[in-house]
A = this chain, B = another copy of it.
Amino acid sequence: MVKVVILGTGNLATNLFKACREATNIKVIQVYNHHHKSLKPFEVFTETTTNLKDLKTADFYILALKDDMIPGISKQIEAKTGIVLHTSGAAGMNTLEKNNNFGVFYPLQTFSKERAVNFTEIPICIEANTEESLKQVKSLALKLSNDVREIDSTQRKALHLAAVFVNNFSNHLYTLGDEICRDQQVDFSILQALIKETAVKVEKLSPKEAQTGPALREDNETIITHLDLLSAHKKKIYTLLSDSIKQTHGKEF
């Protein structure tokens, strides 16, 4: 039985804790947070503490914390011999280099407390300070997900950035689409089938192959009609992204 301590109680910590409970051969023996109140939802399932000095001996200490908290907390648990892992896309593994054994456990997914995700399908990007640590981190990750990949810190930073484009920015485009619908008293739900198909389509085709629309066709008449309907703010976004599509695809013709 692998013993895990989770540090943090946010969206990722909540989903990770749930995944560990559902996995076989993993036991979360303790959850840490400096606020007692945040620990409430975990208390019924496991031990909790607000004091880093009271951390139990475990195989893994998983820091599911904001990036700027990682150096301070990891320093305070330097004496531990269990593997200290952070879960950040942006922080280098070397943030933890003062620890005895360390690595990265970065699940590439968007987490909300209100929405449970199927952890077994989430790609887990792993990295560790030694071959032996890597073996152990991999074994832990494989208990939680079917998609475990060795990704170094440079690659992980690029992935974190790519995630901003495909997740944060796409979601914002949904928000703009929602606003356009509302202006005409149309319910956003009408766009959901299209949004889902757009996402699922790139499981079979590359996004470049999947591209459609007026910018790809260089259908400037439709583009002008669209621009006429938009506010100055949305017009800027429409123009920049249409030009970018033309630039990406135009070179081939």
Point out residues on A near B: beta carbons under 8 Å.
Answer: 67, 90, 108-110, 112, 114-115, 117, 121-123, 125, 147, 149, 151, 154-155, 157-178, 180-181, 183-186, 188, 190-208, 210-216, 222, 225-226, 229-230, 233, 236-238, 240-241, 244-245, 247-248
Contact = CB atoms under 8 A, between A and B. Distances in A.
A106 to B, nearest CB: 11
A178 B177 CA distance: 23
Contact of A170 (B159, B170, B214): B170
Nearest to A174: B207
Given A186-B155, A222-B67, A191 B162 contact: yes
Contacts of A211: 168, 171-172, 175
| Nearest 4 CB-CB pairings of A with B | A168-B213, A199-B199, A174-B207, A162-B177
6 contacts: A155-B186, A166-B191, A170-B174, A171-B210, A174-B207, A199-B199
A4 to B, nearest CB: 22
A157 B186 CA distance: 11
A237 B244 contact: yes
B193 A121 contact: yes
A168 B212 contact: yes
A16 to B, nearest CB: 15
A167 B195 contact: yes
B248 A175 contact: yes
A162 B176 CA distance: 8
B225 A175 contact: no
Contact of A108 (B122, B172, B193): B193
Contact of A177 (B67, B166, B181, B216): B166
